[in-house]
Amino acid sequence: MSSDDVRLADLPLREDLRGRTPYGAPQLEVPVRLNTNENPFPPPGELVEDVTAAVREAAADLHRYPDRDAVELRRDLAGYLSGATGVPLSERNLWAANGSNEILQQLLQAFGGTGRTALGFEPSYSMHPIIAAGTRTEWLPAPRRPDFTLDAARAAEIVTERGPDVVFVTSPNNPTGGSIPLSELEPVLRAAPGIVVVDEAYAEFSAQPSAVRLLEDYPAKLVVSRTMSKAFAFAGGRVGYLAAAPAIVDALQLVRLPYHLSVMTQAAARAALRHAGATLASVARLAAERDRVVEALRGLGFAPVPSDANFVLFGLFADAPVSWRSYVDNGVLIRDVGIEGHLRVTIGTPEENDAFLAASKEVPR
């Protein structure tokens, strides 16, 4: 018997994982890839040089484990986030991990788990229920309005009724694009008996203020999760982070693997942060491109959902999977997020967006 003869179904896998499918957007080789909400502009040359020099220097220490607590990286992230939000933060308020997905997993390892629940307003980021399943946290789906906005009063009622240990609020919401104003977040925070995670992966693209401003008022409940994968053009570097009370950081230290952030990751992220100004200059360009794409889609008779992120959910399609395939055949990879009649496009470079709009004229509706 060769190792290829062993089938997944034959393994003593946890019963609750049987039959599940892994997260994953198709990674297809097509000319225009607008499916994973990355920043389409490559990092500036000075950043590439600085990251290279920082990693070269770090390589001299590769025989040693990294700083287990990533203190300097957390200090730099605190500096960036304080500057961006106007809220004073120190490294004690910051925690970092390999992408915000790992941050979210650590949060559910610490605050979810067997016998506990996590609630999210759907449709939203599909990894939230997947991470809940992986950590054996029962997932409680709650609705949004038919136009995908969050009804804050209703959301607070549901949170009161269900009493979840963890609530996820994604703002701007992926895949629908809208943000929640802080005045509407507060009723949810007041109602929540446990932790509220505001997933701000796309915050830099939004005009709404960050929930970081509410940390002072809800220190025992609120966690704001962010990432360098989107606006920061650092998706390949794998760094996400959170801002919260220092006690929440202490809680995550109980579940994190030691030395989870490599010497190279820490050095590269710190170098990339030194160029935040140059990288984030693309945010305004992308927001302008997003508005152009939305207008053009409207002009073509589509119904785009209002977005303040770097992607747009749009419809209506009689058969979204068929139309998705037709986009691929036209050389454009976008995302079928499983919302009936809709597809999601990431905002790319002006040329990529033009290719997407040209394909939009060809696909069946």
Q: Which residue blocks in the chain are alpha helix, DSSP H?
A: 45-59, 71-85, 99-111, 127-134, 152-162, 182-191, 246-253, 263-273, 276-299, 320-329, 350-360
**Region 96-135 residues binding ligand PMP, contact defined as CB under 6 A:** 99-101, 125
Which region, judged by CB under 6 A, interacts with ligand PMP, from 189-197, 215-223, 227-235, 253-261? 227-235
Q: How many residues bind ligand PMP (CB under 6 A)?
A: 13
Measured CA to CA, the distance from residue 312 to residue 289 in angstroms comes to: 11
Residues 95/249, Cβ–Cβ less than 8 Å: yes
- Residue of 109, 170, 210, 307 interacting with ligand PMP (CB under 6 A): 170
The one-letter amino acid at 114: T
Residues 170/118, Cβ–Cβ less than 8 Å: no
Q: Is 174 in the site for ligand PMP (CB under 6 A)?
A: yes
In the structure encoding, which two tokens stand for residue 274, read together?
A: 């030194």
Which region, judged by CB under 6 A, interacts with ligand PMP, from 79-87, 95-103, 266-274, 324-332? 95-103
Residues 193/166, Cβ–Cβ less than 8 Å: no
Site string for ligand PMP, 300-339 (x = CB under 6 A): ----------------------------------------
Helices 246-253, 99-111: axis angle to 10 degrees equals: 90
Which region, judged by CB under 6 A, interacts with ligand PMP, from 94-102, 115-123, 135-143, 215-223? 94-102
**Region 193-212 residues binding ligand PMP, contact defined as CB under 6 A:** 199, 201
Q: Is 37 in the site for ligand PMP (CB under 6 A)?
A: yes
- List beta partners, residue 199: 170, 225
Q: Is 353 in the site for ligand PMP (CB under 6 A)?
A: no
Measured CA to CA, the distance from residue 129 to residue 2 in angstroms comes to: 35
**Nearest to ligand PMP by Cβ — which residue?**
99
Nearer to ligand PMP (CB atom), residue 158 or residue 228 = 228
Measured CA to CA, the distance from residue 197 to residue 200 in angstroms comes to: 9
Nearer to ligand PMP (CB atom), residue 100 or residue 179 = 100
Nearer to ligand PMP (CB atom), residue 238 or residue 270 = 238
Binding residues for ligand PMP, per CB under 6 A?
Answer: 37, 99-101, 125, 170, 174, 199, 201, 227, 229, 235, 240
